[in-house]
Structure 1
Amino acid sequence: MIQSIQKTDKEIEEGMKGKDFLTIGEFTTDEIHYLLNEAVELKKLQKQGVPHEALKGKILGMIFEKSSTRTRVSFEVAMLQLGGHALFLSSKDIQLGRGETIEDTAHVLAGYLDGVMIRTFGHETIERFAHASSVPVINGLTDTHHPAQILADLLTILEHKGYLNGLKAAYFGDGNNVAHSLIEGAAKVGMHFTIACPKGYEPDEAIITKAKEVGKTTGAIIQVTEDPIDAAKDADVLITDVWASMGQEEEQAEREGVFEPYQVNEELCINANKNYIFMHCLPAHRGEEVTEGIIDGSHSVVYQEAENRLHAQKALLKLLLKN
């Protein structure tokens, strides 16, 4: 299960110390494998009840402009299990919500905290914050990227398949933030990735182009298609997400009609490998992007995937915030 590392452990740890985590594409293949290896070990320790307080005394600030269940709980519990503390900071309760500049908030919080996790709308917001901050900044989600989720996804696939390089993953639905980070992550670890989406809902072309360039080195084949059956053919991993993301609720009815052919259902899954796994970052809308029989069936690993947010993020926090 453990992936091979080209650089030494010390070199990778030194390179990651104090680093921001804004997109998974900004991390090297070695760094991603190292994070996954570390997550496997931290999960093992947690299951065995062995204390692992690598961040004792450290404090993570968590700024939320978008509400969340998994992101808030997983990051907060991660810090507690690592011996540190987490502060929930709603944008409504801090001066950022009253017009203080992003840069001023970043400078001030860096004087109090050892790291900041932000869940916000525009990706430029977190980029500006990170540029002004002297402590590591972690992307808990933006409209363009969701890298913390994809670390958990890769960990889940690794646990079930034993390897990542050469596997085929297929994603069905909107070319959104989850899709963008999946594309970047798959390219980095050499996993073939096909996204099936209707015309007009494709992922960002610049992200696709860059991922294809990375794939030339790692062996990953990145494809975009309008044909869900072609995407599902011989896939080892099937993935979907809600059709209308947070902030797109008024488009719900329109999107239901557009995305109906991309529902992950029993008929579609026949085209995948017999031992495929189904993944969804949750929350899910049963009967829309996925049928109840698939998400609650024997191939589904969505709850393990959700739990792995905790373990993957513990690895991330440990390596970025550790002295």
Structure 2
Amino acid sequence: MTTHFQGKSLLKEIDYTPKEFYTLIKLAEHLKYLKQHNIEHHYLAGKNIALMFAKTSTRTRSSFTVAAVDLGAHPEFLGASDIQFGKKESLIDTAKVLGSMYDGIEYRGFDQAVVDGLAEYSGVPVWNGLTDDWHPTQMLADFMTIDEVFGRIKGITLTYLGDARNNVANSLLVTGAMLGANIHLVGPKSLQPSQAIQDIAAKYAAESGAQLLITDDLAAGVKDSDVLYTDIWASMGEEDQWADRIKLLQPYQLNMAAVKATGNPDTIVMHDLPAYHDLNTKLAQDIHAKFGLTELEITDEVFNAPFAKQFQEAENRMHTIKAIMAASLGNLFIPALPEIK
């Protein structure tokens, strides 16, 4: 029995079965080993990849670029000024043109309908580098990191603190439920996931045994957690909402008190980055000038602690993105894996 990936897009986590998603994580761990040992893996030699970025990016762009080159493919960057959707050319027409020239397309932007449309009309695999609704490539990296640190995913308890209705929180809830990890989303009631997202997660949790908790009670949420995770308090396009977000989310800052409240001496900390833990960015300096804060969603003490794994997590973006590109374009023979651990 083999798991079939060839030609398949990754638009959101639930496009794959839990076992397929886990298979991609284990493939990424194998590809990481190959890279660390300088073993060539040109599974996509001669392929051309379009990298479409309506939103700016550091990790996602770098990950797709390096991953494509490592696989022997040529990546071509198309920035916001290069993408004509709805301005000079329709999404459907653009998708058909790009699909005739490229072997795969990555898209990072706002509306999920755009990445869905690219997949429907291009005829090639499309990978979601982030939309307002989902962040599947981030999830592959996050759960790979958990697997590396703990040796398993199933039964691990991950608690997310902050804006619990953004794309990362949605994806963590659903992906954790798929893989059998217990997910706690902790944030104010006004920033919790939609009922539709909760229903998707509950369906998977019933099958995997994952325990899900959505609460505004920080102490209850973090208790016994293996992983504490946070994200920026205002996503791209929400920069005018900082005053409201700070007021709502300061009680949910990932600080040392939150770490100690887990009661777990082996707790790790994760963050999908960028993180506002000091005043070394223009945004943080502007926030400091307006609100007097030197740290936002995570404190500098926690960010630089030995149990903080955000840079391992960031590196794993590249290995997991490489896995999804290789699996969907490389005509690989991927044997079926054992049950999710």
TM-score range, shorter chain: over 0.9
Matches for 1:251-262 after TM superposition, within 5 Å: 251-262=241-252
Give how far 1:254 is off. 1.4
Matches for 1:74-223 after TM superposition, within 5 Å: 74-96=63-85, 98-174=87-163, 175-223=165-213
d(CA) in 2 for partners of 1:68 and 1:263? 24
Give how far 1:97 is off. 6.6
User: Residue 320 of structure 1 aligns with which residue?
Assistant: 328
Q: Give deviations 1:115-158, integer Å, cap 9, x for gaps.
A: 00000111111112211120001000001111101100000000
1:298 to 278, 296, 306: 306
**One-letter amino acid of the structure 1 residue matched with residue 266 of structure 2:** N
Q: Give deviations 1:197-251, integer Å, cap 9, x for gaps.
A: 1011111221111111111111111221011111110000100000001110000
Q: Is the 8 A contact 1:265 1:291 kept in 2?
A: yes
**One-letter amino acid of the structure 2 residue matched with residue 100 of structure 1:** E
d(CA) in 1 for partners of 2:230 and 2:170? 13
d(CA) in 1 for partners of 2:16 and 2:94? 26
User: Residue 271 of structure 2 aligns with which residue?
Assistant: 280
d(CA) in 1 for partners of 2:132 and 2:83? 21
d(CA) in 1 for partners of 2:265 and 2:123? 49
3-state secondary structure, aligned to 2:82: coil
- Aligned pairs, how many? 312
Q: Is the 8 A contact 1:91 1:97 kept in 2?
A: no
Give how far 1:253 is off. 1.7
Q: Is the 8 A contact 1:168 1:235 kept in 2?
A: yes
Q: Is the 8 A contact 1:38 1:315 kept in 2?
A: yes
d(CA) in 2 for partners of 1:201 and 1:215? 22
- Aligned-residue Cα RMSD (Å) equals 1.0
**One-letter amino acid of the structure 1 residue matched with residue 239 of structure 2:** E
d(CA) in 1 for partners of 2:75 and 2:219? 44
Whether 1:30 and 2:38 are equivalent positions in the alignment is no
d(CA) in 1 for partners of 2:139 and 2:272? 9
Q: Name segments (4+ residues, structure 1) moved above 4 Å.
A: none
Of residues 310-319 and 205-214 in structure 1, the stretch that sits farther from structure 2 once superposed is 205-214
d(CA) in 2 for partners of 1:93 and 1:211? 36
d(CA) in 2 for partners of 1:143 and 1:51? 36
Gaps of 5+ in 2: 278-294, 332-341
Q: Is the 8 A contact 1:25 1:181 kept in 2?
A: no
d(CA) in 2 for partners of 1:148 and 1:106? 21
Superposition TM-score, scaled by structure 2 size: 0.90
User: Residue 30 of structure 2 aligns with which residue?
Assistant: 41
Q: Give deviations 1:76-135, integer Å, cap 9, x for gaps.
A: 000000111100011312433733111110011000001000001111111122111200
**One-letter amino acid of the structure 2 residue matched with residue 312 of structure 1:** T
Q: Is the 8 A contact 1:208 1:222 kept in 2?
A: no
d(CA) in 2 for partners of 1:183 and 1:241? 14
d(CA) in 2 for partners of 1:127 and 1:94? 16
Q: Give deviations 1:55-78, integer Å, cap 9, x for gaps.
A: 111111011100000010110000
Gaps of 5+ in 1: 1-7
Matches for 1:229-244 after TM superposition, within 5 Å: 229-244=219-234
d(CA) in 2 for partners of 1:195 and 1:95? 37
d(CA) in 1 for partners of 2:174 and 2:92? 28
User: Residue 307 of structure 1 aligns with which residue?
Assistant: 315
d(CA) in 2 for partners of 1:120 and 1:94? 11
Whether 1:263 and 2:263 are equivalent positions in the alignment is no
Give how far 1:26 is off. 2.0
3-state secondary structure, aligned to 1:110: helix
